[in-house]
Amino acid sequence: MTELLTANQMRALESAAIESGKVTGLELMERAGQGVVDALCNNWPELAETAHRALVLCGPGNNGGDGFVIARLLADRGWQVDVFLYGKAEKLPPDARANHDRWIETGEAHQWDVDLILSGARPDVIVDAVFGIGLTRPLPGEVARVLDHHARESWKNWMRIRKVAVDCPSGLNLDNGHVPLEPDMEAPASEPPPGRSNIADLTVTFHTPKPGHYLELGPLMSRHLAVADIGLRGDAMERGIIGLPADPERARLTEPKHFGAAGLTALEPGTWPSSVLPKRRGGAHKYDFGHLIVFAGGVGRGGAGRMAARAGLRAGAGLVTLVCPKAALMENAMQLNAVMLRGLDDPNLLGEVADDRVSGFCLGPGLGVGTRTRALVQAALARKAGERDWRRPVVVLDADALTSFADDPETLFAEVHERTILTPHEGEFARLFPDLAEAVRGAKSKIDVVREAAARAGCVVLLKGADTVITNPEGAACLHAAAYDRAAPWLATAGAGDVLAGMIAGLAASPVSADLIVAAEAAVWLHVECARSFGPGLIAEDLPEELPKVLRALSL
Ligand SMILES: NC(=O)C1=CN([C@@H]2O[C@H](COP(=O)(O)OP(=O)(O)OC[C@H]3O[C@@H](n4cnc5c(N)ncnc54)[C@H](OP(=O)(O)O)[C@@H]3O)[C@@H](O)[C@H]2O)[C@@H](O)CC1
Ligand SMILES: [K+]
């Protein structure tokens, strides 16, 4: 697990380190520049071997300061380096100014001029050091024109020019993954608006990744992400972030890797996610792992519920029962074996199919939108802890279970309890939280918005997508990104969300399951891992079948 720091949190960390006297701003800038050059050489060893030509584009703040360090270090390696500054040298902040002055002792820093830059000598590497965490408004047009990936076409062999972004591709907001645009700047859908086409080949950030590297446009624009250690890591960073409830002030990235004092390490078997998955020990009983009830739709609409049920069973629930309208019993009986089956027409009679040992409910996939679904949701939410159990059954609400409350989300929020998980996709989220969905489209961070949603609903909210955000009412937030080396494009397939709901419910229904947010996090990670393990050609039914292989690889 890795903590993600916002721009303010990063600045606070930097200031604290400088104030403590352990390091100066200049030293941090030197390490940052060195980190970029090291990452560049690691990523493209052929560039490390001989001298090449670099175009270093510096901005008016400390990101530009990093650029001057990089220019100097490359020149020291024998490279030819052309430097352009967007802004005035005398207005640079002190550390950036110092590195500018050091650079012009031996080189030149030209004033920004689009035509001059694009008609200059062809670079092998473009260094984008224009804006980093200090971006406060949309990218100026004259910067966008140079950074747009089409700008490279002005040189021969432009496909072989590599662009390295310092901290982020300039224009990307690292708190939220958006690229702010001028209000009148929306371009036709066929051509990306300025700033959004500043696509890097490699992005090197410092100390720890930022939310914007993983949210929204971040992965698309950053392409490959490297994290340079600039010596800010201390013991505090490593405390309490593996498998424990997240810090309400910060978000964490859900991944089985860890940025700690020793740098990036892969977690060993026995640590996350194995550490948060229910253990199967000899002598255990199926009820030790919970009894999950998944509700399915009527005749001809049972597929989504069946997939969720199978996913719940594979994920670890000891027993899973599919409950469907009686008319659909025959259809489901023909398709199910390990999953048990019961018929229920009247939601008020839930007690007839669910005894005290039921530890989880999953409602939504294929259930249909309407009063019956509402009644089923309300009946499941009303269940109390059984006599033998100390906590009430977990309730996972997905798809139609959420949309059934689109006209009246407050009724749903009044009835959910702390053992409820809402798992909307963006459309369903917008139906329950229209104002918050609007805020995500604006400038707010998806993490903050989903935090607000969890506080409003009073339960865990998981907004799914390539960037999935999971929050609880206490403010804990986790971000899981199917991006970079964990991209899983095959997951964009019908029914994948139904399977995810089942996996979450299957893990959370275990009487010994971890904190809900932790169980949800593990389920989302496993879901993507199954897709990656299966690969192209994946359909939703394949996901639960891939789980044993993925779990085996975790040495469970
Ligand atoms: N923190 C750390 O630990 C470390 C940080 N380091 C490095 O510092 C970087 C952060 O530096 P930073 O704070 O100076 O911000 P930066 O991104 O250079 O931009 C600020 C300048 O841009 C301007 N400006 C903004 N938007 C604009 C726009 N659209 N159009 C025009 N102007 C715009 C803004 O002007 P203003 O908004 O004030 O008018 C201000 O002048 C960070 O990303 C990393 O690379 C490393 O050295 C090591 C340790
Ligand atoms: K940059």
**460: pLDDT strictly greater than 80:** yes
Residues 29 and 102: their CA atoms lie apart, in Å, by: 13
Which phi and psi angles does 516 have, rounded to 5°?
-60, -40
- Is residue 421 within 8 A of residue 429, CB to CB? The reply is no
Structural domains for the chain? 2-180+193-236 (3.40.50.10260), 274-553 (3.40.1190.20)
Strands 467-471 and 477-481: antiparallel
71 Cβ inside 6 Å of ligand 1: no
Residues 198, 147 contacting (CB under 8 angstroms): yes
Residues making up the annotated binding site are: 62-66, 128, 132-138, 167, 170, 304, 366, 425, 464-468, 497-498
Alpha helix positions (H), 155-265 = 211-214, 218-222, 235-238
Most confident segment among 255-264, 381-390, 438-447: 438-447
Residue range 396-447, pLDDT digits in tens: 999 999 999 999 999 999 999 999 999 999 999 999 999 999 988 778 999 9
Place of tokens 């059934």: 404
Q: Is 58 exposed, middle or buried (0-12, 13-18, 19+ CB in 10 A)?
A: buried
Predicted ipTM beyond 0.95? yes
Q: Reply yes or no on whether the pLDDT at 239 is more than 90.
A: no
Phi, psi of 130 (to 5 degrees): -90, -60
Q: Any idea which of 36-50, 130-144, 222-236 has the lowest mean pLDDT?
A: 222-236
- The arithmetic mean of pLDDT across residues 336-342, rounded, is 97
Tell me the whole-structure pTM to 2 decimals: 0.94
Predicted confidence at residue 507, as pLDDT, reads: 95
Phi, psi of 453 (to 5 degrees): -60, -45
User: Residue 132 CA: which ligand is closest?
Assistant: 1
Among 15, 18, 69, 131, say which to mutate for ligand 1: greatest number of ligand atoms within 8 Å of CB: 131
The two three-digit tokens of residue 372, written as one number: 């019956």
438 CA distance to ligand 2 middle (Å): 28
According to DSSP, residue 484 is labeled: G
Residue 278, token pair as written in the block? 């229910």
| pLDDT score for 189 | 55
Least confident of 147-156, 285-294, 486-495: 285-294
- pLDDT tens digits, one per residue of 347-374: 999 999 999 899 999 999 999 999 999 9
Instruction: Say how many Å lie between the CA of residue 26 and the centre of ligand 1.
Output: 15
Quickly state the pLDDT bin for 513 (edges 50, 70, 90).
confident
pLDDT at 402: 98
- Is the model more confident about 34 or about 388? 34
* Farthest-apart Cα atoms in the chain, separation: 84
Q: Which helix (H) or strand (E) holds 39?
A: helix 25-43
| Per-residue pLDDT, 391 | 84
CA 552 to mean position of chain CA atoms: 25
Sorting pLDDT into bands at 50, 70 and 90, what band is 225? very high
Q: Which protein residue's CA is at the shortest distance from atom 3 of ligand 1?
A: 14
Decide: 203 in ligand 1 pocket, CB within 6 A: no
Which atom of ligand 1 is nearest to 13's Cα?
A: 3
pLDDT tens digits along 153-164: 999 999 999 999
pLDDT (tens digit per residue) in 18-45 = 999 999 999 999 999 999 999 999 999 9
pLDDT digits (tens, 9 = 90+) for 171-197: 999 999 999 887 765 555 556 666 789
The ligand 1 atom nearest the CA atom of 61: 18
339: left (phi over 0), alpha (psi -120 to 50) or beta: beta
Phi, psi torsion values for 404, nearest 5 degrees:
-65, -15
How confident is the prediction for the chain on average, in pLDDT? 92
Q: Could you tell me how many helices (H) and strands (E) the chain has, helices first? A: 22, 20
For β-strands 477-481 and 420-422, DSSP reports them as unpaired
Distance 131 CA to ligand 1 centre (A): 5
More confident residue, 249 or 102: 102
Measured between alpha carbons, how far is 441 from 433 in angstroms, rounded to an integer?
13
Q: What is the pLDDT of residue 390?
A: 75
Cα 128 from chain centroid (whole Å): 24
Ligand 2 ion: nearby residues, β-carbon < 5 Å: 128, 165-166, 170
Radius of gyration of the CA atoms of the chain, in A: 26
For 438, half-sphere exposure in the C-beta direction (CA atoms, 13 angstrom radius) is 3
The predicted pLDDT at position 526 comes to: 96
Rounded to whole angstroms, how far apart are CA atoms 156 and 538? 40
Place of tokens 């590497």: 125
State the DSSP code for 337.
S
* 261-275, 475-489, 534-548: range with lowest mean pLDDT: 261-275
Q: Would the CB of 404 count as within 6 Å of ligand 1?
A: no
Q: What is the band of 237 on the pLDDT scale with cuts at 50, 70, 90?
A: very low
Contact 446, 467 (CB under 8 A): yes
